[in-house]
Amino acid sequence: MMKPRGNTRQNHISLARQIIETVLEHGYAEGDHLPESTLSKACGVSRTPIRSALKILEKSDIVRRRDEGGFFLFAAPDRIAQDGLSDIEDMVGSLASRILSDRAERRITDVQSVSALARRYNAPRSAVLNALKILTSDGIVVQMPGRTWAFQPILDTPNAIEESLAFRLTIEPQAILAPGFQMDSRKSGLLRQQMNAFLDRPDGRLSASGFLHLDCAFHSFIAESSGNRFARGALLAHHRLRLSTQKDQSIPDFRLRQSLEEHLGIIDSLERMQLQLAADQMVVHLRRSQIRKPRTVNRGILPLARGAPA
């Protein structure tokens, strides 16, 4: 029998919290293997929900799946002790995230009322209102006249991703070229390390969600470094939206690697203060990312490419 809708995810989030507590109690160190059997025994549940909870922790960069099999602790225990539990709550467990995720997966329509959301999530109206305020502050929903709330465009479809890339192609090179571009070298070093670690993974082990995290971190870093406050603000908000709502499983490993190499090339140029070159590299990088598979194909009729004229 299926469980009542909506409860399973909450259970996995609770389990993710339990796993963090277990990790801290057992004194695991960064890089340690986290055997599913041990966690399963410690939390008193089977391995299947443990795996789902570990995937939630992976999204928060607390654990990572490695090619040798299984999950490993990716963050330092003191960082987890400090931020881990609230991260889970804030990053994936909050009602705001659940609402956003459900919209991105087209489970709920783009216009919602507080009472409808309260019913769906079995949550008090005050919690729903709070979640909607969080989403409003990121520009994801707006309150309409009356009692409805409307979702703004998100990156939930190939067409939306295409429009996002066109927008970024206009702004991101300019964010680099605007006077006052200044880069935090400590952050660029960290990003470089993370990208190299990802590139070290073998083919077939490059997860789309892991790539999206790295990709958003890199492009947000470029935005943060921009000397133009409006480019900075618009791009940071856009990359937050990408991180929360973009789903794109269609990128082959070769392109994921090529994309990260392009990031590293841009960082190289920025470190040498070759800003024009970095901006040009950004144009090439985004143009390559614009290539998408044709929408529809059939024998005898040429494929309809994405973005084909109407």
Contact footprint for another protein (CB under 8 A): 1-3, 5-6, 8-9, 12, 52, 55-56, 98, 102, 105-109, 156-159, 203-209, 247, 249-256, 258, 291-306, 308-310
Of the candidates 257, 283, 256, 255, which has an alpha carbon nearest to the alpha carbon of residue 269?
A: 283
3-state secondary structure (DSSP) of residue 248: coil
CB closer to another protein out of 197 and 273: 197
| Closer of 48 and 82 to another protein (Cβ) | 48
Minimum distance from CB of 226 to another protein (Å)? Answer: 29
Q: How far is the CB of 73 from another protein (least distance, A)?
A: 19
Cβ atoms of residues 222 and 172 within 8 Å: yes
Residue 19 or 223 with smaller CB distance to another protein: 19
CB of 46 to another protein, least distance (A): 11
CB of 288 to another protein, least distance (A): 8
Which residues, 6+ apart, have CB-to-CB distance to 152 below 8 Å?
Answer: 139, 140, 141, 142
Q: Write down the least CB distance from residue 135 to another protein, Å.
A: 18
> 22 or 101, CB closer to another protein?
101
Region class of 299: left (phi > 0), else alpha (psi between -120 and 50), else beta: beta
Q: How far is residue 166 from each of residues 70, 160, 169, 261, 288, measured CA to CA in Å?
A: 38, 10, 5, 21, 12
Which structure tokens are listed for 43? 């939390």
**Which residues, listed in sequence order, are joined to residue 142 by a DSSP beta bridge?**
150
Residues 6+ apart with CB under 8 A from 266: 222, 278, 281, 282, 285
Of the pair 116, 171, the CB lying nearest another protein is at 116
Q: Which is nearer to another protein, 256 or 279 (CB)?
A: 256
Q: How far is the CB of 65 from another protein (least distance, A)?
A: 8
- Burial (CB count within 10 angstroms: exposed 0-12, middle 13-18, buried 19+), residue 29: exposed
Distance of CA 106 to the CA centre of its chain: 17
| Cβ-based nearer residue to another protein, 79 or 120 | 120
* Angle at alpha carbon of residue 218, lines to 237 and 255, rounded to 5°: 115
Q: Is 106 left (phi over 0), alpha (psi -120 to 50) or beta?
A: left
Residue identified by tokens 């409860």 is 7
**Rounded least distance, CB 188 to another protein, Å:** 27
Q: Which is nearer to another protein, 109 or 152 (CB)?
A: 109
| Shortest Å distance, C-beta 162 to another protein | 11
